[in-house]
Amino acid sequence: MENKKTIVVVGGGFAGLEFINQMNHAHQFNVILVDLNNYNFFPPLLYQVAAGFMEPSAISYPFRKILRKHDNVKFRMGELQRVIPEENKIILSNGELHYDILVMASGAETNFFGNKNIEELSLPMKTISDSLALRNLVFTRLERATRIEDPNTRKKLLSFVIAGAGPTGVELSGLFSEMRLHILEKDYPELNPKDLGNIYLIDGQDAVLAAMSKRTQDYTYEKLKEYGVIIKLNTFVKDFKDDVVSLSDGTEIESRNLIWAAGISARTFDGFKEENFGRGKRLKTNSHNLVEGYTNIYALGDTAIIIGDKDYPNGHPQLAQVAIQQAKNLGKNLKSNAWEPFNYSDKGSMAIIGSNKAVTDGPDQKFFLKGFIAWCVWIFVHIMSLVSFRNRMRAFYDWMGYYINKDQSFRMIIRPKEKKSE
């Protein structure tokens, strides 16, 4: 077919990969996927990699292997640096690409709210590299603590402050608590249990899992308290320096470890106008995900904020389901040229707290599950959401191994040294 249009997709996360799948065999288009990494990964399970309960390969998969059966899709590894809409091209770290249609699915990044100390010293949880850095830090701290006699220094090394009581913060605090209960005594006999630090969960809102139902919040709060997690609500982290986490209520927590899961904002790139960006630095779009002011640039998922949806005046939630549904809708619209507006269908939400402990809210919070049943649902949904059969089997094997033995074997400190790139 002559005169094929070229679609460039920036970002291979939930939205980008779903859009690629929609365009498979749509031979009126040539599609180029651009991503900084050469692999797709599953962000909801990053915290399990960070805690040494899963290996990175269980939640990641190479793009080129994913795209083998996509006969109209190519992959370009590179970092987007600038968009030049008037020339229909993008500038990458290793060249440039021309497009007929540009799809921005570049996702979100950690929002440190302008605090330079927190940005420099805390540990975010957005990428595989972040999760491995946290894993290295956790187990390096434990190894160092075995050589230290002073109990106060030990406690500072082994206290963890988690900012943000959304799903990531809740799940990470629950997993760290289970490590303390089931693993530390066996692996680190040099440590006195009395010297182990505390796990703090901090959030500026008045509930954990603030976006979920009241029943979910109450159950989660009680289970975390049973685990020994110290929860401080209506409080935010104000600063982090000199091994002290300062809170807005005047509290100071002595700790060398601040994990930042408190906020995100969309990734931004040069070339767009200031008025193109809305709340959370998201590109403003119409109901077809077309960026305002352009005729051939679309934005999906965390990158987009649809203007004019009366049900979501502040934008849709930055969730995987929103990204996937927007990508499906845009793909169908481009293939059929029959433009249907995006209409979000809430599939519910869930979070895991620990073994046999999870919570699930149904669509529009119409029903609620907790405990073992919710845990089984969480396991099933997350396994089926992984990109390949190999990933699913590996994740299932890892989880079942931990469920039976209350242990896992991925607690290695690995620090690869990079040589100069070409």
Whether residue 74 is predicted with pLDDT greater than 90 in this model: the reply is yes
What is the pLDDT at residue 10? 98
pTM of the full predicted structure?
0.90
> Mind listing the domains of the chain with CATH numbers?
5-36+78-110+265-336 (3.50.50.60), 116-262+348-405 (3.50.50.100)
Using DSSP, state whether 50 is helix, strand or coil. Answer: helix
Averaged pLDDT for residues 296-300 = 98
Residues 6+ positions from 291 with CB-CB distance below 8 Å? 104, 272, 276, 283, 284, 285, 297, 298, 299, 304
Question: Lowest-pLDDT range, 45-54, 59-68, 335-344, 369-378?
Answer: 45-54
Averaged pLDDT for residues 124-150 = 92
Question: Lowest-pLDDT range, 78-92, 235-249, 363-377?
Answer: 363-377
71, burial (CB in 10 Å: exposed 0-12, middle 13-18, buried 19+): exposed
Confidence of residue 364 (pLDDT cuts 50, 70, 90): confident
What is the pLDDT at residue 414? 79
Residues, the chain: 422
Token pair for 415 = 């620090």
What is the pLDDT at residue 100? 97
Whether residue 1 is predicted with pLDDT greater than 50 in this model: the reply is no
